[in-house]
Chain A
Amino acid sequence: MIKAVEPHAIDVDAFPGTHGNGHQPATRPIHVRILRQDVSGGESYWERFEVPHEPNMNVISVLQKIAAQAKSRDGRKVAPVAWDCSCLEEVCGSCTMLINGRTRMACSALVDKLLEEDEEIELRPMSKFPVVRDLVVDRRRLFRSLERVEAWVPVDDSYDHGPGPRISPEDQEDAYPLSTCISCGCCLEACPQFNKIEVVRRDDETAEAFETRRKAAFDAAFVGPHAISQAMLFNSHPTGKMIADERLEAVTGPGGVQMCGNAQNCVAVCPKSIPLTRSIARAGRAATVWAIKKLFDR
């Protein structure tokens, strides 16, 4: 077990451009095992890596070191591990992966804390999305769900029509957390009702036909807690609610809120602590009212 380093006992100056430091006592190198896959639909395999330990590392800096050394623990030259990342401050939503079995963002996964759990760090790609390569997955279904629930304010246009509606601080404070969803997909990975869909393009299929078929497959399946929460966000906005019925149609249709099994995993893994189960409960109630209304409107 490696002792956790005091967060501030660190020498990482912004200036004059030093990197890490050379006068810390030598610590044991970090061992990492990564579930790799070379291409979409290919076989997966484990590969082990070893990188020097430095204070204050996160999983991103481990992957950066692996990319730079491009060799496995047993010294073989291997292609760098592919992974998604961008902001490194847990707001872009790119770097979701399974770290020691848990779905989370790699940038905010601090190495010293992980090493308290286990001597080796395990990295795997998300299991609910098709693997593109190594830790990179294809999350376009997540964004398709946002289209399904029409997660936008249906303004007339982007010209000047004065300010938006007055909103009370209470309503703003209710809406803001829902609006901080970074589309990372953690909730989807953890949800027992959200299962992997991998549609493979046929040899004789045009790009458009493939796209249509893939969308149809997505649309028949569970829309996911993130999208239900967005539907509730926009249904609570004074202008957004003008198409509330359309969103409820989507949320109560095939793959809608009724598929939720109330496992509550989503809210437990959300890195932004978004009250997803509250949104789902609201959607459930709205769906009931909606169903009754539809019954009487017939």
Chain B
Amino acid sequence: MAQPRVLVIGGGLAGLAASMRLAELGVGVDLVSLVPVKRSHSVCAQGGINSVNALTRQQGDSEWKHFDDTVYGGDFLQHQPPVKEMADWGPRIVDLMDRLGVPFNRTPEGFRDQRRFGGTLYKRTAFAGATTGQQLLYALDEQVRRREVEGKIKKWEFWDFLGPVLDDAGNCRGAICQDLVTMQFKAFQADAVVLATGGNGLIYGRSTMSMVCTGSAVSRAYRAGAWYGNGEFIQVHPTAIPGADKLRLMSESARGEGGRVWVPRKPQDPRDPRDIPEAERCYFLEERYPKYGNLVPRDIATREIFDICTREHLSVEKDRLCVYLDLTHIPKETLDRKLGGILEIYEKFQGVDPRSMPMKIFPAVHYSMGGLWVDYEKSGSGGMVEGSLRNQQTSIPGLYAIGECDYQYHGANRLGANSLLSCIFSGLFVAPTLQAACGSMKSEAPARLFESALRREEERHQAVLARTAGDENPYDLHQELGSLMTRVATVVRRNDELSAAYDDVCDMEARWQRCAVSDTGNWTNQNVVFTKALGDMFPLAKLILKGALMRDECRGAHFKPEFAMPGIAATDPAEKRLEAEQWCDRFEENTRKWLKSTIAACQPDGSPRISYQDVDTSLITPRPRLYGLVGGDVIEEVWKERQGGANGHAVAAAGQPVGAAS
């Protein structure tokens, strides 16, 4: 290969950020995407992007506190150096996006406005209306278009990644992709391949994710040998609009701007919600979490909404589970300026104006915290070594992963407005690594590698095309998989159900072999592409279920009632103290046993082999996650005594930040 060349798969925020930076570094980029990159799923992100800023800094905020909120919110499951590096980059990234023309909302003086998001007490979130993801994506799309005109980037839109090409030593030397119009195959040689292919919500049938979020690219890398980390950690967003085809997101920014979640105290109160007096409303998040209120971390808000509907039977409607998300107390002008985009979505799809009528919402699958396992090199200052070949590298040398499809930044639960940051950060940060990877392979990859990989993919494709007589319908099978996964592997998980579901998914995978394709042509054949993507969902579904089954604890989004650690029941001070001691003992034991990354490796039969890896918690000692827990104050007291004030940062950050934004 003459000129150094990197193959970027996926054109959302991460893929575009990497492409932009690579082009500046003089590295040639082939950018492959299922859709025109401007239509990538990042466009759906609404609320904003987090970073420390001039205002919060003067209220006592710092990069360290952003880092601390992120790992505390993520229940300490992340390796800490990459998260620290990301938080340190936050201010620079928001400044950069500002320079690229993102129309962030402004204060009267012309500075960027900020709002508060979940899991923090500071107003750290910069935003552009309620379509921040769209605006960030467009700014990067524009820069990539500019570099494309200059000949530095070549886009391959409406192309599908079929799998990496590995040499005899197991290094990634390129990939096989397919043109989704002509259905022709092409081998791409590359010095490095980076996957930026997002989440896998379609495994759950309906979610807040776009139709392209099948997880197929990641599944193909996984089956080629890349490890998958923390698969069981799936974020269920507290507030979405239920729909027949999709569960549309209702941004956390609705609560960030003052939106209140409530249900009538009287079950299924038939009155117009506006006629129900305050005293007869239950603002359950505010009542149970006085400190964070409606802005508790997402996993907690989701469980509370789910519980109040399923266990306390206070759903607004009887047949359809939902709670009110109420914005009607906020002036219409403010709503239009700060939340216009999401209110229009609700109005368009529900036919009700949320400015004057409380919205009806319910949780929905939203984000994959887990993803391809990636490496990093820790720096002396506790962050990452820039340009290290190890950063963002999967377990296949030469194959990298960034954005939602890696597992690195969000642990057991992602904080709102951190995903846009992690996507852009990992995209920018991986660029010097990819540049260093160019030419790092000693010899040129032999042509036979690509020829045989190409043949293999063509044969696989033909095998699916040839299945015209089967008795299974891929679309129906997908619905079945989605229903099962939604039922057993979302908010509440039980071992008997997970175990049975694993067997069911194995059966479904066998049935997939009997899926008949109804289109056997070789022109824009969406039918065969969907059928193949469905087949790719099973290995991921299995690793999600297996990981969830084996993890006998509660951590972030992964909740098993059987292993829950309820708060303090006693009222007598001495007994409270004793219970808190026992609670802390149990917490420490659980940390020793379960504070570990789940690593899934694909076995020849497609089933996951699960192992565990220690988490780097060298910067902040893991501490109990006590948001709103009964007796949390006593537990915290005991915990602090046990730490003996050894970790000043952690203890200080666990308390109320000084001068926090109201």
Binding site for B on A (CB under 8 A): 7-8, 10-20, 38-39, 54-58, 60-61, 64, 67-68, 70, 77-80, 82, 84-94, 107-108, 110, 132-134, 136, 139, 143, 146-147, 150-155, 157-158, 160-164, 166-169, 171-173, 175-176, 179-180, 182-183, 234, 237, 239-240
Task: Let me know if B319 is at the binding interface, CB within 8 A.
Answer: yes
State whether A89 touches B103 (Cβ < 8 A): no
State whether B131 touches A68 (Cβ < 8 A): no
* Candidates B108, B109, B483; contact of A18 at CB < 8 Å: B483
Q: For the complex, give the distance between the alpha carbons of A139 and B133 in Å.
A: 23
Chain B residues lying within 8 Å of A155, measured Cβ to Cβ, are 99-100, 143
The residues in B between 70 and 112 inclusive whose CB is less than 8 angstroms from any CB of A are 92, 94-96, 98-101, 103-112
State whether A91 touches B476 (Cβ < 8 A): no
Chain A residues lying within 8 Å of B44, measured Cβ to Cβ, are 87, 89, 91-92
Contacts known (A12-B242, A13-B321, A86-B211); A176 close to B110, Cβ less than 8 A: no
Q: For the complex, give the distance between the alpha carbons of A43 and B321 in Å.
A: 48
Binding site for A on B (CB under 8 A): 20-21, 24, 35-36, 38-41, 43-44, 92, 94-96, 98-101, 103-112, 128-129, 131, 134-135, 138-139, 142-143, 145-146, 148-149, 181, 205-206, 210-212, 240, 242-249, 306, 310, 317, 319-321, 337, 341, 345, 348-352, 360, 362-364, 428, 473, 475-476, 479, 482-487, 490-491, 518-519, 521, 523-524, 526-527, 530
Q: For the complex, give the distance between the alpha carbons of A183 and B341 in Å.
A: 16
Nearest B residue to A79 via CB reads B519
State whether A14 touches B96 (Cβ < 8 A): no
State whether A154 touches B337 (Cβ < 8 A): no
Q: For the complex, give the distance between the alpha carbons of A80 and B475 in Å.
A: 11
Q: For the complex, give the distance between the alpha carbons of A86 and B360 in Å.
A: 24
State whether B39 touches A64 (Cβ < 8 A): no
State whether A90 touches B348 (Cβ < 8 A): yes
* Candidates B36, B92, B139; contact of A143 at CB < 8 Å: B36
State whether B483 touches A164 (Cβ < 8 A): no
B245 to chain A, nearest CB (A): 4
State whether B490 touches A167 (Cβ < 8 A): no
State whether A132 touches B475 (Cβ < 8 A): no
State whether A60 touches B487 (Cβ < 8 A): no
Nearest B residue to A152 via CB reads B142
Q: For the complex, give the distance between the alpha carbons of A166 and B352 in Å.
A: 37
State whether B211 touches A14 (Cβ < 8 A): no
State whether A94 touches B518 (Cβ < 8 A): no
* Candidates A154, A167, A176; contact of B146 at CB < 8 Å: A154
Contacts known (A20-B244, A61-B244, A88-B211); A93 close to B519, Cβ less than 8 A: no
Chain B residues lying within 8 Å of A234, measured Cβ to Cβ, are 101
State whether B108 touches A16 (Cβ < 8 A): no
A146 to chain B, nearest CB (A): 6
Chain B residues lying within 8 Å of A171, measured Cβ to Cβ, are 106
State whether A17 touches B486 (Cβ < 8 A): yes
Chain A residues lying within 8 Å of B242, measured Cβ to Cβ, are 12-14
Nearest B residue to A233 via CB reads B101
Nearest B residue to A134 via CB reads B524
Nearest A residue to B144 via CB reads A152
A85 to chain B, nearest CB (A): 6
State whether A85 touches B211 (Cβ < 8 A): yes
Chain A residues lying within 8 Å of B104, measured Cβ to Cβ, are 172
* Candidates B108, B138, B479, B518; contact of A79 at CB < 8 Å: B518
Q: For the complex, give the distance between the alpha carbons of A164 and B104 in Å.
A: 10
State whether B487 touches A79 (Cβ < 8 A): no
- A-B contacts, 9 of them at CB < 8 A, read A89-B246, A91-B345, A108-B348, A132-B181, A152-B142, A163-B98, A164-B101, A169-B107, A234-B101
State whether A39 touches B483 (Cβ < 8 A): no
Nearest B residue to A58 via CB reads B245
B363 to chain A, nearest CB (A): 6
Chain A residues lying within 8 Å of B40, measured Cβ to Cβ, are 92
Chain B residues lying within 8 Å of A67, measured Cβ to Cβ, are 475, 526-527, 530
* Candidates B21, B206, B319, B486; contact of A16 at CB < 8 Å: B486
State whether B110 touches A14 (Cβ < 8 A): no
Contacts known (A39-B523, A57-B244); A164 close to B321, Cβ less than 8 A: no
Q: Tally A-B pairs: CB < 8 A.
A: 240
Chain B residues lying within 8 Å of A93, measured Cβ to Cβ, are 38-39
Q: For the complex, give the distance between the alpha carbons of A58 and B246 in Å.
A: 10
* Candidates A11, A17, A92, A150; contact of B39 at CB < 8 Å: A92
* Candidates B106, B249, B484; contact of A172 at CB < 8 Å: B106
Q: For the complex, give the distance between the alpha carbons of A37 and B397 in Å.
A: 44
Nearest A residue to B428 via CB reads A158
State whether B110 touches A169 (Cβ < 8 A): yes
A234 to chain B, nearest CB (A): 7
Chain A residues lying within 8 Å of B134, measured Cβ to Cβ, are 91, 180, 182
Contacts known (A17-B205, A169-B107, A169-B110); A88 close to B244, Cβ less than 8 A: no
State whether B248 touches A173 (Cβ < 8 A): no
Chain B residues lying within 8 Å of A78, measured Cβ to Cβ, are 518
A152 to chain B, nearest CB (A): 4
Given contacts A82-B526, A132-B524, A143-B38, 17 further A-B contacts (CB under 8 A): A15-B321, A19-B483, A56-B244, A60-B245, A67-B527, A80-B519, A85-B211, A88-B246, A107-B245, A108-B349, A110-B351, A146-B142, A152-B142, A166-B110, A172-B106, A176-B103, A180-B341
* Candidates B306, B362, B475, B491; contact of A64 at CB < 8 Å: B475
Chain B residues lying within 8 Å of A54, measured Cβ to Cβ, are 244
A175 to chain B, nearest CB (A): 5
State whether B245 touches A86 (Cβ < 8 A): no
Chain A residues lying within 8 Å of B526, measured Cβ to Cβ, are 67, 80, 82
Nearest B residue to A147 via CB reads B149
Nearest B residue to A18 via CB reads B483
State whether A77 touches B518 (Cβ < 8 A): yes
Chain B residues lying within 8 Å of A10, measured Cβ to Cβ, are 320
Nearest A residue to B105 via CB reads A172
Q: For the complex, give the distance between the alpha carbons of A162 and B490 in Å.
A: 41
In the complex, the 6 A-B pairs of residues with the closest C-beta atoms, listed nearest first:
A164-B98, A70-B518, A17-B486, A17-B483, A68-B475, A152-B142
State whether A161 touches B523 (Cβ < 8 A): no
State whether B212 touches A86 (Cβ < 8 A): yes
Q: Which of A15, A61, A169, A234 has the most CB of B within 10 A?
A: A15
State whether A80 touches B24 (Cβ < 8 A): no
State whether B245 touches A19 (Cβ < 8 A): no
A203 to chain B, nearest CB (A): 15
Contacts known (A143-B145, A176-B129); A17 close to B98, Cβ less than 8 A: no
State whether B24 touches A153 (Cβ < 8 A): no
Chain A residues lying within 8 Å of B211, measured Cβ to Cβ, are 85-88
Chain A residues lying within 8 Å of B320, measured Cβ to Cβ, are 10-13
A176 to chain B, nearest CB (A): 4
Q: Which of A38, A87, A172 has the most CB of B within 10 A?
A: A87
State whether A8 touches B244 (Cβ < 8 A): no
Contacts known (A38-B523, A82-B524, A90-B345); A152 close to B95, Cβ less than 8 A: no
Nearest A residue to B482 via CB reads A17
B91 to chain A, nearest CB (A): 9
Chain B residues lying within 8 Å of A176, measured Cβ to Cβ, are 103, 128-129
Chain A residues lying within 8 Å of B486, measured Cβ to Cβ, are 14-17
A238 to chain B, nearest CB (A): 9
State whether B143 touches A152 (Cβ < 8 A): yes
State whether A169 touches B428 (Cβ < 8 A): no
* Candidates A84, A168, A179, A182; contact of B110 at CB < 8 Å: A168
Contacts known (A14-B486, A158-B21); A87 close to B43, Cβ less than 8 A: yes
Q: For the complex, give the distance between the alpha carbons of A55 and B351 in Å.
A: 13
State whether B487 touches A16 (Cβ < 8 A): yes
Chain A residues lying within 8 Å of B107, measured Cβ to Cβ, are 169
Chain B residues lying within 8 Å of A162, measured Cβ to Cβ, are 95
Q: For the complex, give the distance between the alpha carbons of A91 and B108 in Å.
A: 28
